[in-house]
């Protein structure tokens, strides 16, 4: 069976029904008390469409998109697992969706209880004292955590001195970016055999270090077995240890950030706890903190007084707010459903199955491409496509060729310490049949001719996309599109985008 | 599978995890079946009282609106809902085109040149806008209206603290509620201001005419306007009166309030500043065969490439909510959107007129024009007590504007009121009656 993605010549919305160019739709509508100066003089140029037109347009677009229900997504560090339908159903209940964050507390006891319960459950999973659900995403949680570290050292009178954040060269890009936003300088610690080089960490760490940020297992798919020594080194230097929870899916029920000695951690609920990725978001970035940093968590905290839940702002050390509201509640609910469904043993089994999938696949794919690091991996592993370069084939070509097989490509060119790297993660929701099918697809792809690989993909809605042209021409909205012809526009539709007046 | 790896048990997969960091039981309890989970969650949610059970006058940046069924139906398509970030453009043309349409819509509403593919919410978008200002203008002070919602002030403080940026509050005229223009002139002349933010409507619900002249007053200092997308269907696009950056909260276009999340951060800027813009950007281009195609572009601004020198740390954004935004705007359509804003304004004015002159209240508190929301002042008593008493009469009467992070409270308390789309003339009458009963002198309703 050969995979073929839908290929619709689907024009952008405004070409379906070119917007009216009348001078105004503003002053025709009475607005009590608003001066004419304030009124919109140019009509909003957006099409008036019927529901069937909209439904067909977006259904066609959806058919030109991979999703977890159309194909496996072996993206390393992204934990693309199946998103249960029951969570979707429950998140849409009026009791969840039709609740305004500014309603009086006695009308939102259910929402507060759900947040309270999930925070407690995540505290147990992480082994940390308190959890806040306020951050909107993982990077947002990282940023909040670093602000907490900042505030902590400020209270100690050491902020002027502790200006540096250390991180391994395998760290996710968000780590150094968050550290820089929080006003720290960053310094990378080189890895040895894919793990933190403890000697180099000891050399680099000093009284200037505020925090060491670590993912464990790391992005090479390896568990940092020196973690106890790392934690001791960091703490003896008076610094904080930060856990990037992107890879938590590997260790639930086996270890935890708290047990490993981390002081603060973020979790991506859209990874480990199966909330949908939504084409790039929304996510949810739960933030856990140990004893020293817990007082600095964002406010409000959800607290309980006898049987009544309330929003607690009386946290004098708190960093304050990092977003409007109390977090992505709709996603929190889904994560709660996921934890409740799995329970203690189920979560532990999730990690076992994810690690088994990864080792099985690493073993089989290791026959095609070299694995630069250790035999035993956790939830993901890295291959190097460097040898393909001899035939003029890049890892990117292999990734595009895999798309033609109807499977998503792995993460490519990360981590950067491996030349031409592919980072592969098949979470527990993928069956052995799915893994074997991926191995077969990989086999076909890697043994295809170099020319075919370079010309891939052929079976998708478009061929290889010219990203260089995109960056050079910068057509970023419909206004920019006016001079570009629409190739093969169907009959009856304009061949060019109507120019805005 | 274990056997094919030559492993005796699952434990062997974790042989690299030292004993010293092993955990025993987490203490989470046993797993539950789907009907058990549904029963548990429904039991918890039953302790909520959804907003639609009341006469609803809650607003701020988050709104309860009718959502056409087509919006949720289409964002629920699994190809959108469960897809990853479209880093592989050939496999993701659908989401990329939808995000391109979203960017185009915010460009159109804001009157600027370039919009990104979303940020977390309106408050963090304002924070990112402040950082963008600092990239294009020197200084260390950012001016925001004192009337800005306290949550946004707190978020802005947190977005600036790392770089040593200070957020200063522009006083408002105590009668009109409008920005103090002389204060702004004086502060900008000091030369340390790198940006000014104004919100439309502002935190009091006012449409402040001074905002239209703000850019000419501050000159080369960048102007950020935080605007409500629905208001922009009838008000001048900020790009036309000189805004350099336009941000906003987009939840009201396509998402239920969901106890405050997910929300949607909107952000647009001028073309010359595009390389300083945070977040993902979708661009149109061609494929190898010359067909129109879309892709993420200018990724060298972003954390996964530029790391500590990225324009922001943001990775995961609010793509699906951005899709809901463009779906909502398209299914309601521009004409009915403008009409909806006008209806909300009529309701707000009808309520304010009916409340005007009642004892114990000052309505509206400020004299500047307003659209669909306004602020009232309680002569005595605290806002929370007033709102609780209104609730007992079936009215979600608004929200307190007091900042819970400020220990010292001074002066009479303010309540922000915004009729929801569902509130009708009967709800307005009910509101007025409830106020009369609540604030009536006597043992039942005293301060």
Question: Domains of chain A by range and CATH?
Answer: 87-341 (3.40.640.10)
pLDDT grade, residue A486 (50/70/90)?
Answer: very low
To probe the interface with A, which of B9, B10, B15, B28 has the most A CB atoms within 10 Å?
A: B28
What DSSP string runs through B83-128? PPP--SGGG-HHHHHHHHHHHHHHHHHHT-SEE-S-BS-HHHHHHH
What DSSP string runs through A287-331? EEE-TTTGGGSPSPEEEEETTEEEEE---TT----SSSTTS-HHH
Q: Residue B422: name the closest of B57, B48, B60, B71 by CA.
A: B57
Q: What is the rounded average pLDDT for all residues in chain A?
A: 93
Q: Which residues of A touch B27 (CB under 8 A)?
A: 124, 344
Calpha distance A272→A258 (Å, rounded): 17
Judge: B287–A463 Cβ closer than 8 Å, yes or no: yes
pLDDT (tens digit per residue) in A280-327: 999 999 999 999 999 999 999 999 999 999 999 999 999 999 999 999
SS3 B144: strand
Judge: A109–B48 Cβ closer than 8 Å, yes or no: yes
Judge: A477–B384 Cβ closer than 8 Å, yes or no: no
ipTM above 0.85, yes or no: yes
pLDDT of residue A363: 96
pLDDT grade, residue A488 (50/70/90)?
Answer: very low
CA distance A466 to chain B (A): 5
The pTM of this model reads 0.96
Question: Is-contact B260 B117, C-beta < 8 A?
Answer: no
Calpha distance B197→B195 (Å, rounded): 7
∠ CA B147-B149-B153, nearest 5°, is 95
What is the pLDDT averaged over residues B389-407? 93
Asked if B28 reaches chain A (Cβ–Cβ under 8 Å), the answer is yes
Helix boundaries (H) for A312-424: 329-365, 395-403
Please report the residues numbered 270 through 309 in chain B whose beta carbons come closer than 8 angstroms to any beta carbon of chain A. 271, 274, 280-295, 297-298, 302-309
Judge: B388–A96 Cβ closer than 8 Å, yes or no: no
SS3 B249: strand
pLDDT at A19 exceeding the cut of 80 = no
pLDDT at A160 exceeding the cut of 80 = yes
Chain B: residue whose CA lies nearest to A353: B10
pLDDT grade, residue A28 (50/70/90)?
Answer: low
* Cα→Cα distances B285→B12, B276, B292, B296, Å: 50, 21, 6, 10
pLDDT grade, residue A491 (50/70/90)?
Answer: very low
SS3 B265: strand
pLDDT (tens digit per residue) in A211-225: 999 999 999 999 999
To probe the interface with B, which of A279, A284, A287, A411 has the most B CB atoms within 10 Å?
A: A279
pLDDT of residue A20: 67
Rounded to the nearest angstrom, the gap between the alpha carbon of residue B17 and the centroid of all alpha carbons in its chain is 43
Judge: A344–B99 Cβ closer than 8 Å, yes or no: no
Asked if B92 reaches chain A (Cβ–Cβ under 8 Å), the answer is yes
pLDDT of residue A29: 80
Q: Which residues of A touch B159 (CB under 8 A)?
A: 181
Judge: B237–A42 Cβ closer than 8 Å, yes or no: yes
Paired tokens of B134? 């600092």
Judge: B297–A467 Cβ closer than 8 Å, yes or no: yes
DSSP state of B233: G
Judge: A181–B312 Cβ closer than 8 Å, yes or no: yes
pLDDT (tens digit per residue) in A347-383: 999 999 999 999 999 999 999 999 999 789 999 999 9
CA distance A127 to chain B (A): 8
Question: Is-contact B171 B196, C-beta < 8 A?
Answer: no
Which domains, ranges and CATH numbers included, belong to chain B?
54-62+333-439 (3.90.1150.10), 69-331 (3.40.640.10)
Chain A: residue whose CA lies nearest to B122: A324
Q: Which of B81, B262, B303 sits opposite A174 (nearest CB)?
A: B303
pLDDT (tens digit per residue) in B107-137: 999 999 999 999 999 999 999 999 999 999 9
Q: Which residues of B touch A478 (CB under 8 A)?
A: 100-101, 104, 107-108
Please report the residues numbered 410 through 429 in chain B whose beta carbons come closer than 8 angstroms to any beta carbon of chain A. none
């Amino acid at each position: 069976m050969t995979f073929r993605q839908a290929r619709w010549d689907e024009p952008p919305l405004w070409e379906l029904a070119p917007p009216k160019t009348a001078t105004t739709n503003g002053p025709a509508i009475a607005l009590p008390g608003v001066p004419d100066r304030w009124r919109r003089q140019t009509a909003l140029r957006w099409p008036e469409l019927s529901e069937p037109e909209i439904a067909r347009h977006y259904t066609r677009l959806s058919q030109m998109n991979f999703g977890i229900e159309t194909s496996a997504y072996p993206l390393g560090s992204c934990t693309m697992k199946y998103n249960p339908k029951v969570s979707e159903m429950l998140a849409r209940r009026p009791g969840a969706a039709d609740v305004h964050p500014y309603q009086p507390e006695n009308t939102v006891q259910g929402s507060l209880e759900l947040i309270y319960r999930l925070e407690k459950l995540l505290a147990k999973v992480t082994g940390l004292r308190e959890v806040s659900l306020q951050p909107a995403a993982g990077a947002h949680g990282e940023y909040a955590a670093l602000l907490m570290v900042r505030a902590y050292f400020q209270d100690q009178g050491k902020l002027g001195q502790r200006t540096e954040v250390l991180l391994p060269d395998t760290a996710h890009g968000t780590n150094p970016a968050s550290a820089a936003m929080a006003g720290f300088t960053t310094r990378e610690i080189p890895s040895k055999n894919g793990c933190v080089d403890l000697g180099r960490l000891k050399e680099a760490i000093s009284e200037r270090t505020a925090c060491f940020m670590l993912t464990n297992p790391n992005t090479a798919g390896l568990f940092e077995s020196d973690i106890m020594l790392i934690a001791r080194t960091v703490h003896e230097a008076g610094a904080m240890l930060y856990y990037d929870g992107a890879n938590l899916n590997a260790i639930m029920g086996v270890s935890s950030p708290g047990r490993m000695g981390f002081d603060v951690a973020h979790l991506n609920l859209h990874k480990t706890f199966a909330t949908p990725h939504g084409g790039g978001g929304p996510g949810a970035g739960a933030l856990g903190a140990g004893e020293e940093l817990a007082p600095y968590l964002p406010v409000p905290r959800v607290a309980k007084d006898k049987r009544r839940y309330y929003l607690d702002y009386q946290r004098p050390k708190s960093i304050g707010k990092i977003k409007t509201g109390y977090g992505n509640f709709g996603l929190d609910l889904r994560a709660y459903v996921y934890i409740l469904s799995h329970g203690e043993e189920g979560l532990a089994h999730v990690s076992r199955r994810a690690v088994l999938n990864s080792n099985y696949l690493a073993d089989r794919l290791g026959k095609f491409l070299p694995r630069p690091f250790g035999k035993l991996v956790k939830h993901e592993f890295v291959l190097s496509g460097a040898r393909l370069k001899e035939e003029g084939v890049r890892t990117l070509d292999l990734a595009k060729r895999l798309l033609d097989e109807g499977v998503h490509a792995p993460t490519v060119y990360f981590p950067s310490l491996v030349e031409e790297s592919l980072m592969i993660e098949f979470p527990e929701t993928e069956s052995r049949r799915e893994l074997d099918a991926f191995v077969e697809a990989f086999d076909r792809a890697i043994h295809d001719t170099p020319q075919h690989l370079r010309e891939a993909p052929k079976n998708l809605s478009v061929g290889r996309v010219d990203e260089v042209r995109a960056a050079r021409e910068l057509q970023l909205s419909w206004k920019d599109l006016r001079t570009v012809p629409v190739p093969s526009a169907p009959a009856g539709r304009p061949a060019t985008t109507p120019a805005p007046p | 599978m274990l056997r094919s790896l030559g492993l005796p048990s699952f434990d062997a997969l974790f042989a690299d995890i030292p004993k010293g960091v092993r955990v025993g039981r987490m203490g989470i309890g046993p797993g539950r079946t789907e009907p058990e989970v549904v029963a548990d969650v429904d039991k918890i949610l039953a302790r909520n009282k959804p907003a639609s059970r009341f006469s609803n006058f809650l607003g701020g940046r988050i709104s309860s609106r009718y959502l056409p069924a087509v919006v949720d139906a289409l964002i629920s398509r699994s190809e959108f809902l469960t897809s990853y970030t479209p880093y592989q453009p050939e496999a993701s043309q659908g989401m990329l085109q939808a995000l391109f349409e979203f960017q185009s819509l915010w460009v159109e509403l804001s009157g600027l040149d370039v919009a990104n593919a979303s940020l977390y919410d309106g408050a963090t978008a304002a924070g990112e806008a402040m950082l963008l200002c600092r990239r294009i203008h020197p200084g260390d002070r950012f001016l925001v209206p004192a009337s800005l919602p306290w949550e946004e002030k707190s978020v802005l403080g947190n977005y600036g603290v790392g770089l040593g940026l200070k957020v200063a509050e522009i006083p408002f005229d105590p009668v009109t509620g409008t920005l103090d223009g002389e204060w702004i002139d004086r502060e900008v002349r000091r030369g340390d201001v790198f940006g000014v933010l104004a919100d439309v409507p502002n935190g009091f619900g006012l449409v402040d005419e001074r905002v239209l002249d703000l850019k000419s007053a501050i000159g080369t200092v960048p102007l950020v306007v935080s605007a409500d997308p629905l208001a922009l269907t009838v008000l001048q696009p900020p790009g036309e009166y000189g805004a350099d950056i336009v941000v906003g909260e987009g939840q009201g276009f396509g998402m239920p309030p969901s106890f405050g999340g997910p929300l949607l951060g909107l952000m647009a800027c001028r073309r010359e500043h595009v390389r300083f813009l945070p977040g993902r950007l979708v661009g149109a281009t061609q494929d190898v065969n010359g067909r129109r195609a879309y892709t993420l572009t200018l990724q060298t601004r972003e954390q996964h490439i530029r790391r500590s020198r990225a324009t922001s740390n943001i990775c995961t954004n609010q793509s699906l909510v951005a899709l809901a935004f463009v779906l909502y705007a398209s299914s309601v359509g521009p004409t009915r959107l403008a009409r909806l804003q006008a209806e909300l304004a009529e309701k707000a004015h009808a309520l304010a007129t009916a409340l005007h002159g009642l004892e114990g209240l000052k309505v509206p508190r400020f004299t500047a024009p307003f659209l669909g929301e306004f602020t009232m002042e309680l002569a005595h008593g605290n806002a929370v007590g007033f709102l609780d008493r209104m609730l007992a009469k079936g009215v979600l009467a608004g929200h307190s504007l007091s900042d819970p992070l400020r220990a010292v409270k001074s002066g009479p308390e303010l309540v922000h009121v915004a009729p929801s789309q569902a509130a009708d003339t009967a709800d307005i009458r009910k509101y007025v009656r409830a106020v009369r009963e609540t604030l009536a002198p006597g043992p039942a309703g005293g301060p």
